[in-house]
Amino acid sequence: MIRIRANTAPARTAVVKVQSGLTPAEIDPVIDRVGLQVFADVVQHTPKKWFGQVRAGWTIQKPGLGQRIVVNRNKVMLFLEEGTANAGTGFIVPKIKKFLYIPLTRSAAAGWHSGLKRGIDYIMKKAVRGIAPRKIVAAARERARVLLLNAMKAHIRRLIHG
């Protein structure tokens, strides 16, 4: 006759530790740390052009425990992420106007007025190239997934090993 005894008390203790450590309140600091890393990553990968408004537009929202949303509501960010229709197509999308007004300074971006100097504050072009898609958010999603996976693995290891 063969008898096998297993001491499952340490395993049950570890399971209880992991269960109690995976509540939204317990994982909130881990999510917060990853959210700040993702925030720093997207800010770093957002270009400084366009007067820094796009880069400064990134914010972190906290809808609840264990949740972070990194968002940029600047309308230029959509064009940086997805590009424009005439980027990389080999042809220029026709415009109705004779010349396109392109601001070069912050005051010119606010709108044309008589104090602006042509060639310094703004230029007029017959055609413009589009913005190629940069896919800043798409790339950041993948990096965020890897960061979160590594952070949660480390959190669970700390829970098990003390």
Question: The whole model's pTM is what?
Answer: 0.71
Give domain status of residue 107, yes or no: no
Average pLDDT of the chain, as a whole number: 87
| Half-sphere exposure in the Cβ direction for 108 (13 Å, CA) | 16
Give domain status of residue 56, yes or no: yes
The model's pLDDT over 49-101, given as tens digits with 9 standing for 90+, comes to 766 889 999 999 999 999 999 999 988 888 888 887 654 444 445 555 678 88
Rg (CA), the chain: 26
Pairing relationship of beta strands 67-72 and 58-64 according to DSSP bridges = antiparallel
| pLDDT score recorded for residue 90 | 46
Give domain status of residue 37, yes or no: yes
Percent of the chain with pLDDT over 90: 50
Contact 83, 133 (CB under 8 A): yes
Give domain status of residue 156, yes or no: yes
Range of the domain at 65: 11-79+133-161
Give domain status of residue 36, yes or no: yes
Give domain status of residue 18, yes or no: yes
Give domain status of residue 91, yes or no: no
Sequence-distant contacts of 137-144: CB under 8 A, at least 24 apart? 137/42, 137/81, 138/81, 139/45, 140/38, 140/41, 140/42, 140/45, 140/70, 143/38, 143/41, 144/34, 144/38, 144/41
Amino acid at residue number 107: S
Residue 71 DSSP label: E
The model's pLDDT over 34-47, given as tens digits with 9 standing for 90+, comes to 999 999 999 999 98
Strand partners of residue 101: 124
Give domain status of residue 151, yes or no: yes
Q: Total domain count for the chain? A: 1
Contact 118, 153 (CB under 8 A): no
Q: How far apart are CA 19 and CA 156, in angstroms?
A: 10
